[in-house]
Amino acid sequence: MNPAAAIADVRQHILDVAHPLLLSKGFTAVGLAEVLAAARVPKGSFYHYFGSKEAFGEALLENYFNEYLARTDALLSAPGPAAQRLLAYFHDWLDSQTGEQAQSRCLVVKLGAEVCDLSESMRTALAQGTRRIIARLAACIEAGRQDGSLASAPADPQAAAAALYQNWLGASLLAKITRDRAPLDTALVGTRQLLGLNLYV
């Protein structure tokens, strides 16, 4: 293996190991020594892979969004009407936030409020990542307007997508606070209403 590929592999391994640690404890509570010990990487080598803890956090968020968007693309490009694909995306969101593994998926919910005041580069990574998600939702809403499955959706797909994403982020945070899935169930009902869909379809 060439040296560049080896560095990329170790760097990715550190990010993969760090993800659950940060989901569990948050960004500021997790020290670099803990991450490197969990990854079994020598403590002195961190700066060989990341310029700083802030750069590490930015890389972690970018990695998270790349993986999240790949899953989103798979859901939103599946066969079937756009309305069906969009609902599959939100059902997947609901499933990821409920049950025993509820905390294991969303870094935006976990880190959003914490890091935006700590790091401009991490705030920017969050902003760019969420814009990419909203753009995909907007494209799916527009596709639904075109294929007729979302004929009653708002005329501005971008505004509708932003409203839905914001609603689901808030519902996810409330679900964590209350340890109850009710806010997510309410978000799903609101999603159907905003898109003009029958509640039982």
pLDDT higher than threshold 80 for residue 155: yes
Q: H or E element: which one contains 172? A: helix 157-178
Segment 12-32, tens digit of pLDDT = 999 999 999 998 899 999 998
Tokens 């409920």 map to which residue? 98
What is the total residue count of the chain? 201
Task: Determine the average pLDDT of the residues in 134-142.
Answer: 98
Q: Which amino acid is at 24?
A: S
What three-state secondary structure class fits 52? Answer: coil
As assigned by CATH, the class of the 1-50 domain is mainly alpha
What are 19's two structure tokens? 């993800």
User: What backbone phi and psi angles, to 5 degrees, belong to 191?
Assistant: -65, -45
As assigned by CATH, the class of the 53-195 domain is mainly alpha
Q: pTM of this prediction?
A: 0.89
Task: Determine the average pLDDT of the residues in 133-137.
Answer: 98
pLDDT-derived band at 44, boundaries 50, 70, 90: confident
Give me the pLDDT at residue 6, please: 59
Segment 75-112, tens digit of pLDDT = 999 999 999 999 999 999 998 887 655 544 788 988 88
Domain ranges for the chain = 1-50, 53-195
As a whole number, the mean pLDDT across the chain is 90
